[in-house]
Structure 1
Amino acid sequence: MTHEEHTIQAITKALPAVVSILIGKDEATVEKDIPKEIWDEIAKETKSEPDPPTHEEIIGHMPHVGAGKIQVGNGSGFIVSADGHILTNKHVVTDAAADYTIITTANDRYTAKVLARDPLNDVAILKIEADNLPTVELGDSNSARLGQSVIALGNALGEFANSASAGIISGLARFLSAISDDAKHSETLRGLIQTDAAINPGNSGGPLINLDGEVIGINAAVVSGAENIGFAIPINRAKKDLEDVREFGRVRWPFLGVRYMPIDAGTKKHFKLPIDHGLLIKGEKIPDYPAVLTQSPADKAGIRENDILLEINGEAISAEHSLEDALEKSEIGQTLKLKILRAGVEQEIQVTLEERK
């Protein structure tokens, strides 16, 4: 079979399970969300008209998802169970006040419920009430290889449903700081798959598949101003979330309970530290942002502000082995052995992880 035939076969296999996600809000809410400056500008531009449009008329001409609901955004997702579980990005469904409508490749419409938003990864799980839906097969993102052929599927630019773009894996284990919502909050995404397959606004949340039609990633982000640089969340991260939701009804993550900053040469100089590596346990100079959360596992284990975390279970903390990576590989109730530096003296502390609330 030729490469072209493999590509067509993979798309044909996975595409029926890819969905578009429409984000809707009440007309009154959208009207309130529009800044006064914009309304003033509209009034200025239309004041010479014989019959200037009212706010209600302007809102009424905006794209609607359903009766009384204005479409304020869109994204993609994919069905992972015949009874309606859907994976997408957390940033696609971050607004708890919005309604989410699913449109399948068969053009069927469903109202979706957000079952879980992963607190650490850009992953969310939705549910629609349906049976016998087409599903995708989840692959193994740990087997992804540099140069491997991949295909990004989704609702490109929010306009072109059932779009596919081919490329290769051009990087692995990438780190990226990305804007996560309309409020311009940022979050750090870790261990990403980099691809030159076109990932555009709108196909965020869609699947990144291999030539066997298996999902190995969730399309997540692009670098603004750059061409052919997109990123996907490894699918193995989402598999754990799915298992948790099915068993516990929520995503469960082990919790340590510290705020910290990575130490480098600049941090060492600024805080007059004895070393230039590890994590400095440090709170923020505002209320309710302590270095060690009260009654957290770290607090119970005796970790203090200005301790420097050096190792977890004998492995040094680094960019390649972060605290988040260690927690992701750990289980709730598991006891970890931490090496810290306190007042120039190395110590070992044992801490038992609890569930993140």
Structure 2
Amino acid sequence: MRRRAGSVLLVVVTAAAGLLVSAPATVDVALPPPPPAPEAPPPPPPLTAEELAAHTLPVVVTIDASSGWTGVTGTGIVLTSDGTVLTNHHVVSGATEITAVSVATGLIHDVEVLGYDSTRDLAVLHLGAANDLPVAPIADELPPVGTRVTAFGNSQGGGVVVATPGSIVAFDRNVVVRDATDGSRHRLTGMVQTDAPIRPGDSGGPLVDEYGVVVGINTAGAVHREDATPVDSTPESYAVPITEAMAVVEQVRSGVSGGSVHVGPTPRLGASVVTSRGNGRDPGAEILWVSYGSPAYRAGLDIGDVVVTFDGQPVTSIADLEELLMRHRPGDAVAIEWVTEAGEKHSTSVVLDDGPAR
């Protein structure tokens, strides 16, 4: 007897003229219904405020960045046990000395900037002599609008990490932010808007969901929005989506600069520039001042000169010069051409210095 699903095949044997003849026949057999699929277990309850703090604080570092007499405080998120940390670019921009304190261990670490993306306000750091640090859980996708979130940060720079609850208000916001240190303004796109108030010192800290999973990087408090959304008294803060931030982290880990991401030490020309406009001047990057002993100083650049080519490429604005500069590393020899206020053209090769993240 042979069985097939849903029926039974019978083989009938008869004798005829000395031959055996088989005649198939089928009989339908009802099979039992499949067992019901097991019900999905209910989601675990959200963490309490105390559990959320106990879960998140160990993966946070507080950051102090200074340049001369000025300094900035901020926050960072531990990504690897050996000390890879994610923070905002504006926390470390221009700093010549950076240290970080692990909340988990209380130890102070010297900090190296591995790479950054100034347009997305992100920087990837490494803590010297770090090991066995707790690592932050990272979300694979962003939660929906209305999700309860909590911002953790070194609020007001006091060295104590504070938790501020709120919720996600909207995604894909474009905003203009002002740097509290120098007053400069920057445009950020694709931001997560929350009503968890973010204060100075919180920058670079984790925005986590109800289970302590990082969904964003705290970046700015109440700022100017580019859309026409009415403004009320509700706290207004913005975070870089963690999915976008991790794409920058992966590029920095690859070791390859590209687009707006710079990897490795920052090259320094040693001159402050502004886009040259009108007055019969050549388009380019006009020198406002030159740092003594810098590559620009050694090349003979002076106030009022206009850089017109760099590394063989035309320069028509400050953005052109910055982009071309960031393609290089300290120690690179680069051709530069400029025009003086008297209209004289000069060119030479400069060897770039090692400078702070910009």
**TM-score normalised by L of structure 1:** 0.56
8 Å contact from structure 2 (residues 74, 201) kept in 1 = yes
8 Å contact from structure 1 (residues 244, 251) kept in 2 = yes
Evaluate the alpha carbon distance shift between residue 295 and residue 156 of structure 1 in structure 2; reply closer, same or farther with a 3 A threshold.
closer
Matched, 1:21 2:63: yes
Matched, 1:233 2:240: yes
Partner of 1:337: none
SS of corresponding position for 1:121: coil
- Uncovered stretches (5+) of structure 2, i.e. residues with no partner: 1-42, 225-232, 262-275, 286-307, 315-358
Q: Which amino acid aligns with 1:156?
A: S
Partner of 2:7: none
Q: What CA deviation, in whole Å up to 9, does each residue of 1:186-208 have, x standing for no partner?
A: 21101111111121101111000
Matched, 1:10 2:52: yes
Q: What CA deviation, in whole Å up to 9, does each residue of 1:139-190 have, x standing for no partner?
A: 13x4331110101011111115121111100121111111236332221101
Deviation at 1:9, TM superposition (A): 3.1
Separation in 2 of the partners of 1:5 and 1:16?
16
8 Å contact from structure 1 (residues 94, 181) kept in 2 = no
Separation in 2 of the partners of 1:91 and 1:19?
16
Deviation at 1:10, TM superposition (A): 3.2
Q: Report sequence identity in percent.
A: 30
8 Å contact from structure 2 (residues 46, 211) kept in 1 = no
Q: Which amino acid aligns with 1:238?
A: A
**TM-score normalised by L of structure 2:** 0.56
Separation in 2 of the partners of 1:149 and 1:284?
48
Deviation at 1:294, TM superposition (A): 8.6
Alignment: residue pair count:
225
- Uncovered stretches (5+) of structure 1, i.e. residues with no partner: 34-71, 256-282, 300-357
Separation in 2 of the partners of 1:242 and 1:251?
12
SS of corresponding position for 2:91: helix
8 Å contact from structure 1 (residues 118, 251) kept in 2 = no
Deviation at 1:4, TM superposition (A): 6.6
Matched, 1:74 2:73: yes
Partner of 2:100: 102
**Aligned runs of 1:97-246 on 2, under 5 Å?**
97=96, 99-105=97-103, 106-129=105-128, 130-140=130-140, 142-159=141-158, 161-180=160-179, 182-223=181-222, 228-246=235-253
RMSD over aligned CA atoms reads 3.2
Structure ranking higher in strand proportion: 2
8 Å contact from structure 2 (residues 142, 241) kept in 1 = no
SS of corresponding position for 1:138: coil
SS of corresponding position for 2:75: strand
Q: Which amino acid aligns with 1:11?
A: A
SS of corresponding position for 2:157: coil
Between Structure 1 and Structure 2, whose CA radius of gyration is higher?
Answer: 2
Q: What CA deviation, in whole Å up to 9, does each residue of 1:259-313 have, x standing for no partner?
A: xxxxxxxxxxxxxxxxxxxxxxxx9657227xxx9999xx9xxxxxxxxxxxxxx
Evaluate the alpha carbon distance shift between residue 151 and residue 11 of structure 1 in structure 2; reply closer, same or farther with a 3 A threshold.
same
